[in-house]
C-alpha cells in the first residue's frame, strides 16, 4: 500500500508488535512492518460487489479492514477527526 503522490507506505513504527504502536508513513524498504493484508468483510448483508479495480487492486464498494503481517496480525485502527 503506497501513497500515489509521494510513494510512502504504511508501516508499524519501529517494527514493534505491541498494542498501541503507531502506524506511520515511511519510505519503502520491504520490511515485515510494511506488509499488510486487506481483509474483506463478506458477512455484511448490504455489501455491494461491483468487481475489482485493476488500477488499485482492490474491490469497489466492499467493506474491509487492514491487518498487519507482523506475527500478532494486529488490525489498523483509524482515528476520528475532532
Give the pLDDT of the chain (82 residues) as one tens digit per residue.
688 899 999 999 999 999 889 999 999 999 999 999 888 776 444 445 567 777 777 777 777 888 899 999 888 765 544 4
Task: Please state whether the predicted TM-score (pTM) of the whole model is above 0.85.
Answer: no
Tell me if 56 is assigned to some domain.
Answer: yes
Q: What is the rounded CA–CA span in Å between residue 25 and residue 47?
A: 30
At 53, list the grid cell: 479495480
Strands (E) across 1-82 are located at 9-12, 23-26, 36-40, 52-53, 58-59, 64-68
Tell me if 27 is assigned to some domain.
Answer: yes
At 54, list the grid cell: 485493476
- Please check whether residue 8 is in contact with residue 27, taking contact to mean a CB–CB distance below 8 angstroms: yes
Number of domains in the chain: 1
Q: Which domain covers residue 19, as residue numbers?
A: 9-68
Tell me if 33 is assigned to some domain.
Answer: yes
Tell me if 63 is assigned to some domain.
Answer: yes
Q: What is the rounded CA–CA span in Å between residue 38 and residue 54?
A: 15
Provide the pLDDT for residue 27: 96
- Please check whether residue 68 is in contact with residue 74, taking contact to mean a CB–CB distance below 8 angstroms: yes
Amino acid at each position: 500500500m503506497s501513497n500515489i503522490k509521494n510513494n510512502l507506505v504504511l508501516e508499524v513504527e519501529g517494527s514493534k508488535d505491541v498494542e498501541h504502536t503507531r502506524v506511520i508513513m515511511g519510505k519503502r524498504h520491504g520490511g515485515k512492518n510494511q506488509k499488510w493484508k486487506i481483509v474483506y468483510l463478506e458477512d455484511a448483508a448490504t455489501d455491494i460487489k461491483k468487481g475489482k479495480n485493476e488500477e488499485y487492486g482492490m474491490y469497489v464498494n466492499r467493506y474491509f479492514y487492514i491487518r498487519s503481517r507482523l506475527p500478532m496480525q494486529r488490525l489498523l485502527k483509524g482515528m476520528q477527526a475532532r
